[in-house]
Structure 1
Amino acid sequence: MALSHELYLSALALALTLPDTCGKAEYPNEDYNGVRYKNWCSQYVITDRCDSPYGYDMPYLNEEIIYSLRNCLLHQSTPNVEKSKIHESRCKVDKFELLITGEDGANGDLSMVAYGKDMSIVRRELKVHISHLCYILCTAAEDYYKNNKEKFDFIKYSIEDDRPKTFS
C-alpha cells in the first residue's frame, strides 16, 4: 500500500524489518540480531542471486548489503550501505543507489564495475529498484509465515484504540 501511494522510503523501511521478525522465528536461540537477519535473508530471500550472469567481479544484492541498508535507513535515516560493513569483496560497492521506477520499469538490481589500465577494479556500483526489493522481502516473509506460523508464538502484544468514537 505504501508503494502504491508513492511512499517509497516508508515501504522500504517496513519491508526491511520483515527479516528481523522472520529471523527471530527461524533462529530463536541466536542472540545476535545481525546473524539472524543475514542468515534468514541468505536462506529465504537471495538464495540464487550470487551467480551473476555478468561475471565474477560484479556486485550483487546480498544479505550483507540488505542488512547494511536496513541499519543505515532505520538507525541513521540514510538509505545507503556502509562499504566497511560488507565482507564479500565483490559486494563492497563504492556507489549504492536506490531507483524508483514506474509500473513498467525494470526490476532487480543493476551493477557496474570499472577497470583501471592494469585491469584491476577501480570502482563498483550497485543500483537497486526499491519496489523490487520490497517485493522480494515481502514475498519471502509471506511465504515463510504461511509455512511456519507456529514459530511466531513469541509475538504477543495488545493495542487498544482509546480514541473517542465519532458517528456520522
Structure 2
Amino acid sequence: MLKIIEVIQDANAKNCPLPALALALTLPDICSQIEYPNEKNVGYRYRNWYNNHVHKHEEFHCTLNTLNSYDKLNAIHEMETMLHKFNGYACYKLRCLLLHQGDAAMTGEIKYDNLYFNIHSGEETRTVSPTKQPDQPIEHLSINSKLLCDYLCTYAKKYYDEHPNKELFQKKILHG
C-alpha cells in the first residue's frame, strides 16, 4: 500500500489528477478489507472506513488568519456545514462513478444516484451547495481531486502506521 500512496502523490505532483484520484479512491477499499475482514458488503466497509478514518479528520485548507473575526466565524460556519456533506457515502459513490465510468466523470458535472459531482484539480477547496427537490435532496459536490487524494493518502498511511500487522497490507501480485 505504501507504493500505491507514493504513486498517487507522484501523479498529483505531476498534475495527473485522473490517475491520482482513481488510485486514491482504492485506498479505502484496501484498508476497509483489513478493518472489516468478515464483512462482504464492499460499500458498507468502504463507507464506514472512510467515515471513521478520513471524514472525522477532514478540514478545509484556507487561511483563516487573513480574515477579520466576523468573516472568520462565517467561514468556519460555512466550512462546517459544507464538510459533513462529503462523507463515506459520497466518497463511495465517487469511487463507483470514476472506477466504473472512467474519465467521463472528469468532463463537467455528472450525476450519480442523488449526487452531482464536479471534479477539478484547482487549488480551491471543494464546496457543496445543496439543492432541494420535492422528494429527495440533490447534492451538488465540487471535488478538489488533489485535496481529496491528500486526505486519502494521509489517513490510509496513518491507518497503516498504527496497524499492528503490516503483513495484511501486502498483496501478492502474480507476474505472468
Residues 26 and 152 of structure 1: CA distance in aligned 2, closer, same or farther (over 3 Å): farther
Gaps of 5+ in 1: 85-92, 163-168
Which deviates further from its counterpart, 68-77 or 9-18? 68-77
The residue identity in structure 2 corresponding to 1:157 is K
| 1:60 and 2:90 matched | no
- Secondary structure in 2 matching 1:98: strand
Contact 1:111 1:124 in 2 (8 A): yes
Matched positions, count:
143
Which deviates further from its counterpart, 59-68 or 38-47? 59-68
For residue 110 of structure 1, what is the aligned residue in structure 2?
127
Contact 1:99 1:130 in 2 (8 A): yes
The residue identity in structure 2 corresponding to 1:98 is I
The residue identity in structure 1 corresponding to 2:149 is C
1:75-94 equivalence runs, <5 A: 75-77=100-102, 78-79=104-105, 80=110, 82-84=112-114, 93=115
For residue 69 of structure 2, what is the aligned residue in structure 1?
none
Larger radius of gyration: 1
Contact 2:54 2:152 in 1 (8 A): yes
For residue 132 of structure 1, what is the aligned residue in structure 2?
147
The CA RMSD measured in Å over matched residues stands at 3.1
Q: Greater relative contact order: 1 or 2 (C-alpha under 8 angstroms, separation 6 or more)?
A: 2
For residue 96 of structure 2, what is the aligned residue in structure 1?
71
Percent identical among aligned pairs is 32
For residue 90 of structure 1, what is the aligned residue in structure 2?
none
Q: Distance in 2 between matches of 1:38 and 1:130?
A: 18
Tell me the TM-score normalized by structure 2. 0.68
- Secondary structure in 1 matching 2:12: coil
Q: Distance in 1 between matches of 2:168 and 2:153?
A: 20
Gaps of 5+ in 2: 1-9, 59-75
For residue 8 of structure 1, what is the aligned residue in structure 2?
17
Q: Distance in 2 between matches of 1:122 and 1:48?
A: 25
Q: Distance in 2 between matches of 1:146 and 1:55?
A: 29
Contact 2:130 2:140 in 1 (8 A): yes
Contact 1:18 1:137 in 2 (8 A): yes
Q: Distance in 2 between matches of 1:156 and 1:123?
A: 38
- Secondary structure in 1 matching 2:25: helix
Residues 54 and 151 of structure 1: CA distance in aligned 2, closer, same or farther (over 3 Å): same
Higher helix share: 2
Q: Distance in 2 between matches of 1:154 and 1:115?
A: 42
Tell me the TM-score normalized by structure 1. 0.71
- Secondary structure in 1 matching 2:155: helix
For residue 148 of structure 1, what is the aligned residue in structure 2?
163
